[in-house]
Amino acid sequence: MMPPALAAVTQPRPKTQHQDDLEQVQAEPAHEKVSLTMQIANLITVVLPFAGLVTAMALTWGRGFSWIHLGLLVGMYIVTVLGVTVGFHRLFTHKAFETSAPVKAILAFFGSMAIEGPLFKWVAMHRRHHQCSDGENDPHSPHLHGHGFVGFFSGLWFAHCGWIFRPHAPGLQKSINDLVASPMLRRMSSLFPLWALVSLLIPTVLGGLFTMTWMGALLGFLWGGLARVFLVHHVTWSINSVCHIWGGRPYRSQDESRNNVVFGVLALGEGWHNNHHAFPTSAKHGLAWWQVDVSYIVIRTMEFFGLVWKVRVPAASALAAKRR
């Protein structure tokens, strides 16, 4: 009979959920093919907002920048980025707090207006990112594209937006069974094209009503619509690229995630990316007193009014245990 002490050593340890997820990912077949229609749609999504920004600047040249259109740009930016950060990311992906069905629907609507894809696809891709962060099956790591100047910039481009045009690994749907179980969320995700259209119509209509001119409506569409989408995309995409290359790493994590001050501010708290990867289920990403986290302020405000509850934040002991 094997001695108890030796048996304890040789007995395999139970697998963690992360290990199970990683083995499942590694066992899946290569990649699904991206249809030509989807490639064209992705290209339009990347190019059209930039074209809108250039056109908006050209039409504004010599006219002066209207406070109305600045308000539409900033207002739509804040609403849609919060839809991504508070809704798509901290609520639906990581379950950092709990809330009611109406609030979930509103956050899903706001996040969809960022035009970064349907709710289900966004969450599935991000959960896969955390399962394989900066590893072989990470959907958008900048660190798997060779060495030197070419490898560095190839990785930076791929992590920023190049991954959008690449085939995605199959099996992503399995990671979002919790969301698929909700008829309301299924409806919100499937209606993504409608929410994307609405996000462009809102600033167009408001621009026309505030100025009572067709030019005001057009500039509302360009500044509050296309130019805003351009800014939202490139700020949030920078979390995948910039925040895995430049910044501080105060906490231990199994990847190259980093805290970046610029995107901590511009992305309303998402740029404290090393903090997030060290504590993925935390509703608070700005863990130091000076790390501004607008998204967490919004979550706490919603909690004060009883709109959300069970807000998850790591204990001081957990922070100390992971600090470098």
Number of domains in the chain: 1
Side-chain-side CA neighbours of residue 218 (13 Å): 9
Lowest mean pLDDT among 33-37, 104-108, 195-199: 33-37
pLDDT band at 34 (very low <50, low <70, confident <90, very high): low
311-317: long-range contacts, CB 8 A cutoff, minimum separation 24: 311/96, 311/97, 311/283, 312/95, 312/96, 312/97, 312/281, 312/282, 312/283, 313/282, 313/283, 313/284, 314/279, 314/282, 314/287
Asked whether residue 257 is domain-assigned, the answer is yes
Asked whether residue 24 is domain-assigned, the answer is no
Q: What pLDDT, in 10s, does the model give residues 184-221?
A: 999 999 999 999 999 999 999 999 999 999 999 999 99
**The pLDDT of residue 33:** 65
Asked whether residue 198 is domain-assigned, the answer is yes
Q: Quick one: tokens of 221?
A: 């569409």
Asked whether residue 149 is domain-assigned, the answer is yes
- Secondary structure E strands in the chain: 98-99, 308-309
Report the DSSP beta bridge partners of residue 69.
none
Per-residue pLDDT for 1 more than 60?
no
pLDDT band at 39 (very low <50, low <70, confident <90, very high): confident
Look-up: residue for tokens 């199970």?
20
Q: What pLDDT, in 10s, does the model give residues 225-275?
A: 999 999 999 999 999 999 999 999 999 999 999 999 999 999 999 999 999
How far apart CA 64 and CA 74 sit, in angstroms, is 17
pTM above 0.75, yes or no: yes
Contact 234, 267 (CB under 8 A): no
Side-chain-side CA neighbours of residue 97 (13 Å): 28
Q: What is the DSSP letter of 259?
A: B
Task: Give me the mean pLDDT over the 81-97 stretch.
Answer: 98
Q: What pLDDT, in 10s, does the model give residues 8-30?
A: 333 444 444 444 444 444 444 44
- At 290, is the secondary structure helix, strand, or coil? coil
Residue 254: enclosing H or E segment and its boundaries? none
Asked whether residue 21 is domain-assigned, the answer is no
How far apart CA 26 and CA 285 sit, in angstroms, is 29
The 3-class secondary structure across 2-62, one letter per residue, is CCHHHHHHHCCCCCCHHHHHHHHHHHCCCCCCCCHHHHHHHHHHHHHHHHHHHHHHHHHCC
User: DSSP string covering 60-73, please?
Assistant: HTTT---HHHHHHH
**The pLDDT of residue 136:** 87
Asked whether residue 22 is domain-assigned, the answer is no
Q: Quick one: tokens of 313?
A: 């934040």
Q: Quick one: tokens of 236?
A: 């949030």
Asked whether residue 31 is domain-assigned, the answer is no
How far apart CA 191 and CA 257 sit, in angstroms, is 33
Q: Which domain does 72 fall in, by range?
A: 39-128+141-322
Q: What pLDDT, in 10s, does the model give residues 118-135?
A: 999 999 999 999 999 999
Q: Quick one: tokens of 107?
A: 């956050």
Asked whether residue 122 is domain-assigned, the answer is yes
Per-residue pLDDT for 65 more than 80?
no
Measure Cα distances from 258 to 84, 153, 157, 236 in Å. 19, 18, 18, 14
Per-residue pLDDT for 116 more than 60?
yes
Compare 7 and 24 and report the one with higher pLDDT: 24
Residue 136, judged by CB atoms within 10 A of its CB (0-12, 13-18, 19+), counts as exposed
